[in-house]
Structure 1
Amino acid sequence: MAELQYGNSGQPIFIEDRALAHLKIVIATKLRRQESFTLSWNHPDEGLGSKSTIWIHPSIPLRFSFDEPEPPPLNARWIEELMKDAGSTGGICLIDEVPEVAEPKR
């Protein structure tokens, strides 16, 4: 399980390594552009409807920590969906992986 350390709270946000690898791409892209947005995720172990949201801003310290030393292969379609969410008024809601569309055989 990977960790997202945000701000000075000392309270890590636990996210699956593969999901955080994809989020990292989106977050880094948005912050490089000096764009702020929200990031929301569910807490399935804490009961129905339990959710958290944070405001991601370039001035707030951020650290990604992964269990796996090598990054996983990236799913471009999932990154596209997360980027689209990041640009919306609702911000990113961490979703399950979006399957990549297989290229049609010729």
Structure 2
Amino acid sequence: MGKFIYEGSVKTEIEDRTLTHLQLVITAKLRRAEPFPFSWREDTSVGGGRTTVWIQPGSALVFKYYGSRQPSINRAWVEALAFTANAASGLHVVPEPSDANGAAAAATDSAQLGSGPQL
């Protein structure tokens, strides 16, 4: 389970594979100086609800990974996440689709976060 930290105070746990794909989309948007909202649902263990942060160039972001291996990248998932980031509602996690070669994502690498927050 990795961690996304915004401005040093807003934190949420996100599975490493999901976090890697989010990082690709977020950094691509920031390289183009495109601000956007990023939303996720909080786990009931931290009170539930939903959190949205406004990400813009200059935002202090930390992507903390607990696994030592870089997961394989699913381009179809990156594109699906980028589509949400470009919509008025902003970036949010969508289920991982099959990659361009038709291979389904491994069950252990799904977008589900188990006991962590639901995005």
Partner of 2:67: 68
Could you state the TM-score of these two structures normalised by the residue count of structure 1? 0.84
Q: Percent identity?
A: 35
Aligned to 2:6: 6
Cα drift, residue 8 of structure 1 = 2.9
Alignment gaps of 5+ in structure 2: 104-119
Q: Equivalents in 2 of 1:81, 1:8: separation in Å? A: 28
Matched, 1:25 2:32: no
Unmatched segments (≥5 aa) in structure 1: none
Equivalent residue number for residue 86 of structure 1: 85
Q: Kindly name which structure, 1 or 2, has the bigger radius of gyration based on alpha carbons.
A: 1
How far residue 65 of structure 1 moved from its aligned partner, in angstroms, is 0.7
Aligned letter for 1:6?
Y
Measured in 1, the distance between the counterparts of 2:11 and 2:89 equals 23
* 8 Å Cα contact 2:30/2:57 also seen in 1: yes
Structure 2 length normalisation: TM-score? 0.76
Partner SS state of residue 54, structure 2 = strand
Find the aligned partners of 2:62 and 2:5 in 1 and give their Cα distance.
Answer: 5
Q: Over aligned residues, Cα RMSD in angstroms?
A: 2.0
The aligned length equals 101
CA contact (8 A) 1:4 1:14 kept: yes
